[in-house]
Amino acid sequence: MMEYKQVGLIDETNEVSEELMNLVGDVIDTAIDHHKFDHDIEVSITFVNDQQIQELNRDYRGKDQPTDVLSFALNEGEDDPVVMEGMPELLGDIIISVPRAIEQADDYGHDLKRELCFLAVHGFLHLIGHDHDTEEREREMFQLQEDILKKHGIQK
């Protein structure tokens, strides 16, 4: 049974309030609980600007443009993650563009709180192997995102 979960939060933009960072961390805790891991988990979330995320998107995905969220899974493609006794499984890193989140919150007509939480959960689901490369998988992934957000009390 899982006893330890850690969500590391870093704001390189100095634009995300402590309250909002804590909320994003709590939502990821909810996502972790939702998936009923049987071992300890650690996730890192970093808030960046458009230039920083564009550089990462270019260097790691070959797309020279900013994006809203990137996920870098440490155990990608491995059926059985390596978990050392007494150590948590390091799932990976989630990188979120704060300017993109602000723009998208405005475009979708909801607040920044919901958008940052949505992007964090989206990134988390990618870390644990979910994808939206087909219409069916996209529907499943987006429904799961909404279920997690709703479970945490964040509505559309």
Sign of the dihedral defined by the CA atoms of residues 31, 124, 146, 15, in that order: positive
Does the pLDDT value for residue 155 go beyond 90? no
Of the pLDDT bands very low, low, confident and very high (cuts 50, 70, 90), residue 71 is very high
Compare 8 and 84 and report the one with higher pLDDT.
Answer: 8
**Which are the contacts of 81, defined by CB distance < 8 A and separation ≥ 6?**
75, 89
Comparing CA positions, the residue from 2, 71, 18, 1 lying closest to residue 10 is 18
User: What percent of the chain has a predicted confidence (pLDDT) above 70?
Assistant: 90
User: What percent of the chain has a predicted confidence (pLDDT) above 90?
Assistant: 78
* Summary mean pLDDT of the chain: 90
Q: Which pLDDT belongs to residue 154? A: 93
Q: What is the per-residue pLDDT across 130-150, written as a single tens digit (0 to 9) for each?
A: 999 999 999 999 999 999 999
Q: Which pLDDT belongs to residue 82? A: 59
Domain 5-151 belongs in CATH node 3.40.390.30: yes
Q: Which pLDDT belongs to residue 4? A: 61
**Which amino acid is it at 71?**
S
Comparing CA positions, the residue from 106, 96, 113, 101 lying closest to residue 149 is 113
Q: Which pLDDT belongs to residue 37? A: 81
Q: What is the per-residue pLDDT across 10-49, written as a single tens digit (0 to 9) for each?
A: 999 999 999 999 999 999 999 999 988 877 889 999 999 9
Does the pLDDT value for residue 79 go beyond 80? no
